[in-house]
């Protein structure tokens, strides 16, 4: 076994690897960028090495710096985590050329599966079923459009490199093919440096079911059953589970055998995942699944497999990479119970899942789960940490296990409802709504479920009078306490001898709220609210809430209602943002400008494309008008930057 390893990653996966290494007595070296100097993975590791500025291209994607850090600290091996360099065969060559061990598959195996088109041709030769489509080298638009017609619409354009939904477009009609192809190519080029694509038949009711495989250098390969990752938004996974609901013995046998066959075809060693698309339009059948791609690394959702098989896949990675045989044979690996993983992100679900930033002023996960269930939190952040625009905005993975799917689903809902995060917009309410969705609860899930139910899943009811009153009560004591203290304690004595009242102002969205807070002699608080609430409430018990600089967040189930608390001594500085301008919803790069100064545009017309988190976001006109100013291509913008300004006469 290794004495010391370096982890070429950050965030929750770096922390995850460190925990297992520590349990095994293996010392760890972390690497970090400027933005991560105070990160949790840096604190947890035995040593840490600075590798560059915050942009990934200058730090976490610099294989030379990472190898140099490993050599300088005496690490014997490098664990890549997922993302970044984890599936880069050139990096594997760098590692091995330096006399180090790459904790993962060989460069040859990664190359074999690294490009979707070549991988599918290889799988066809190995007898693994592949989805109908064009996987050739030629990339002329006329040829691709012709192949799309042959396959039959709808089709799916997919980047041949990378994953995560980047460079992917569904096309319903031939007239939309050219535009979709251009967008997929741009996004693929930005994310993977490769704009080549493949075209496949779009399955009507697709289930995304994947099989965890594991191999060693002695030619042994086993599977650890399947995971269902069909709950996706924008082609990115949201809630994963194991085993797959509705899985039949015949399909499981066919799918796991195909996965093992695929891994053996490339002499695979280490942790890997074979991803299949399953046509669920007529139920799960053994002849209705096709190979999509192989992820030659540990998956984000690996904890659900660990929960249902009682394994530590990171430990297996370390053991296999150090030259040991697989810890278990196929007959020794059994399924037990059911597990879910919910990915908690800093994002605004109601605004199309736009990534968010901010500081996690309050971060609290559940302490308990229902009897008979278990839970684990995988995170790389703490209270006070910032969500950086440079990296994926994941906050945590909440993983639960129960004796069956219903028990695990109940534990998931309760755990999400008890999670408290303040300081950034997060998706906990959306996750809870998805977990409670009737189709999801019944196991009737496919990759289009979220899209079909998106409006209902992302709708957040307005705060009740009780929630507003609680926020006002907490805000009324703001001047007498530090933000991290219990906001109720400072109020307990301010009307000790006689009734007093305190005026408090709040802002929720576009609403200005005026409240009058007083304390009765019997210890109850009374909060009188102006329009639109027009109510007076008596409060005694403290709800779940967090007070943070300039804000109060009140938690109701999985929803966090955040209220701004204006400083009464500060000068009101209203910045007009009205209908005469469009502002950047997040930090990003102006990738493409489709309109010009002086041009007359119509409502809904695409004006420019903003790239953030390696994804493209279209900014469209909110009304008819004439453009007075528009951002330039290549401009880096911050959250709130004016991208488009309309002439004053543009609307009326």
pLDDT of residue 537: 78
Percent of the chain with pLDDT over 90: 71
Provide the Cα torsion 45, 49, 51, 56; round to 10°: 0
Sequence-distant (≥ 6) Cβ neighbours of residue 433 within 8 angstroms? 456, 457, 458, 558
Largest CA distance in the chain: 86
CA 319 to chain centre: 29
Q: Does residue 371 have a pLDDT over 60?
A: yes
Q: How far apart are CA 515 and CA 501, in angstroms?
A: 10
Question: Using CA of residue 173, residue 177, residue 178, residue 184, what is the dihedral sign?
Answer: positive
Q: Does residue 497 have a pLDDT over 60?
A: no
pLDDT tens by residue, 528-585: 888 777 777 777 666 899 999 999 999 999 999 999 998 654 433 333 334 688 988 7
pLDDT tens by residue, 239-254: 999 999 999 999 999 9
Q: Does residue 30 have a pLDDT over 90?
A: yes
pLDDT tens by residue, 212-223: 999 999 999 999
Q: Does residue 620 have a pLDDT over 80?
A: yes
647-651 mean pLDDT:
64
**Based on the number of CB atoms within 10 Å of its own CB, is 603 exposed (0-12), middle (13-18) or buried (19 or more)?**
exposed
Q: Does residue 393 have a pLDDT over 80?
A: yes
Q: Does residue 489 have a pLDDT over 60?
A: no
Structure tokens at 296: 């030659």
Which tops the pLDDT comparison, 270 or 484? 270
pLDDT of residue 576: 36
3-state secondary structure of 221: strand
| pLDDT band for position 94 (cuts 50, 70, 90) | very high
Q: How far apart are CA 210 and CA 259, in angstroms?
A: 9
Q: How far apart are CA 342 and CA 233, in angstroms?
A: 13
Q: Peptide bond before 243: cis, by omega within 30 degrees of 0?
A: yes
Sequence-distant (≥ 6) Cβ neighbours of residue 97 within 8 angstroms? none
Q: How far apart are CA 636 and CA 587, in angstroms?
A: 8
Beta-strand runs (E) in 74-220: 77-79, 101-102, 133-134, 155-159, 168-171, 197-201, 206-215
Nearest Cα neighbor of 330 from 315, 311, 302, 303 is: 311
Q: Does residue 478 have a pLDDT over 60?
A: no
Q: Which of 115-119, 209-213, 347-351, 511-515 has the lowest mean pLDDT?
A: 115-119
Mean pLDDT estimate for the chain: 90
Do 43 and 28 touch, CB atoms closer than 8 A? no
Question: What would the DSSP string read from start to end of 37-66?
Answer: TT-HHHHHSSEEEEEE-SSGGGTTT-HHHH
How many CB atoms are located within 10 Å of the residue 336 CB? Answer: 11
Which tops the pLDDT comparison, 238 or 192? 238
Query: Which residues are part of the catalytic machinery?
Result: 297
Q: How far apart are CA 304 and CA 341, in angstroms?
A: 6
| pLDDT band for position 24 (cuts 50, 70, 90) | very high
């Amino acid at each position: 076994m290794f004495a010391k390893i370096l982890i070429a990653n950050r965030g929750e996966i770096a922390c995850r690897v460190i925990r297992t290494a520590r349990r095994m007595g293996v010392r760890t070296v972390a690497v970090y960028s400027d933005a991560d100097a105070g990160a949790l993975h840096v604190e947890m590791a035995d040593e840490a090495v600075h590798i560059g500025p915050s942009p990934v291209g200058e730090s976490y994607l610099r294989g030379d710096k990472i190898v140099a850090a490993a050599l300088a600290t005496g690490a014997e091996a490098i664990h890549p985590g997922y993302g970044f360099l984890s599936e880069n065969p050139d990096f594997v060559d760098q590692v091995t050329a330096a006399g180090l061990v790459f904790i993962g598959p060989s460069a040859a195996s990664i190359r074999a599966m690294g490009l979707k088109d070549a991988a599918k041709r290889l799988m066809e030769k190995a007898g693994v079923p592949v989805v109908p489509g064009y996987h050739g080298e030629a990339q002329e638009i006329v040829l691709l459009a012709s192949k799309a017609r042959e396959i039959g619409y709808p089709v799916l354009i997919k980047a041949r490199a990378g994953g995560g939904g980047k460079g992917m477009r569904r096309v319903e009609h031939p007239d939309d093919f050219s535009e979709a192809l251009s967008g997929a190519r741009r996004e693929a080029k930005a994310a993977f440096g490769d704009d080549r694509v493949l075209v496949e038949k779009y399955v009507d009711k697709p289930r995304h079911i994947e099989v965890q495989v594991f191999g060693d250098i002695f030619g042994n390969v086993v599977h650890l059953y399947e995971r269902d990752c069909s709950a996706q938004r924008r082609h990115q996974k949201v809630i994963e589970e194991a085993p797959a609901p509705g899985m039949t013995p015949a399909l499981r046998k066919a799918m796991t055998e195909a996965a093992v066959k695929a891994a053996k075809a490339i002499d695979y060693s280490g942790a890997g995942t074979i991803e299949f698309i399953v046509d669920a339009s007529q139920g799960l059948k053994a002849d209705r699944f096709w190979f999509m791609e192989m992820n030659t690394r540990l998956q984000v959702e690996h904890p659900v497999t660990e929960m249902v098989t009682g394994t530590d896949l990171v430990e297996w990675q370390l053991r296999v990479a150090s030259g040991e045989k697989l810890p278990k044979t196929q007959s020794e690996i059994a399924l037990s119970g059911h597990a879910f993983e919910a990915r908690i992100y800093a994002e605004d679900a109601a605004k199309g899942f736009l990534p968010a930033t901010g500081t996690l002023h309050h971060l609290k996960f559940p302490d308990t789960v229902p009897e008979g269930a278990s839970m684990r939190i995988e995170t790389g952040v703490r209270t006070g940490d910032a969500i950086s625009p440079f990296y994926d905005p994941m906050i945590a993975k909440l993983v639960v296990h129960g004796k069956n799917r219903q028990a695990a689903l109940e534990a998931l809902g309760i755990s999400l409802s008890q999670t408290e995060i303040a300081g950034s917009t997060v998706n906990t309410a959306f996750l809870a709504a998805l977990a409670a969705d009737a189709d999801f609860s019944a196991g009737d899930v496919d990759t289009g479920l979220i899209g079909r139910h998106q409006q209902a899943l992302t709708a957040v009811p307005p705060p009740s009078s009780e929630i507003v009153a609680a926020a006002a009560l907490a805000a009324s004591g703001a001047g007498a306490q530090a933000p991290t203290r219990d906001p109720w304690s400072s109020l307990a004595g301010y009307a000790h001898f006689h009734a007093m009242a305190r005026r408090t102002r709040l802002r929720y969205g576009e609403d200005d709220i005026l409240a009058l807070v007083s304390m009765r002699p019997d210890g109850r608080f009374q909060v009188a609210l102006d329009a639109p609430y027009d109510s007076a409430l008596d409060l005694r018990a403290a709800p779940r809430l967090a007070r943070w600089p300039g804000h109060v967040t009140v938690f109701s189930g999985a929803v966090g209602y955040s209220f701004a608390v204006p400083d009464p001594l500060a000068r009101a500085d209203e910045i007009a943002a009205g209908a005469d301008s469009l502002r950047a919803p997040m930090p990003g790069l102006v990738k493409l400008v489709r309109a010009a100064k002086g041009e007359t545009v119509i409502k809904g017309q695409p004006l420019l494309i903003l790239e953030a988190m390696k994804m493209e976001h279209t900014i469209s006109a909110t009304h008819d008008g004439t453009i007075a100013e528009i951002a330039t291509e290549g401009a880096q913008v911050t959250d709130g930057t004016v991208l488009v300004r309309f002439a004053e006469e543009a609307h009326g």
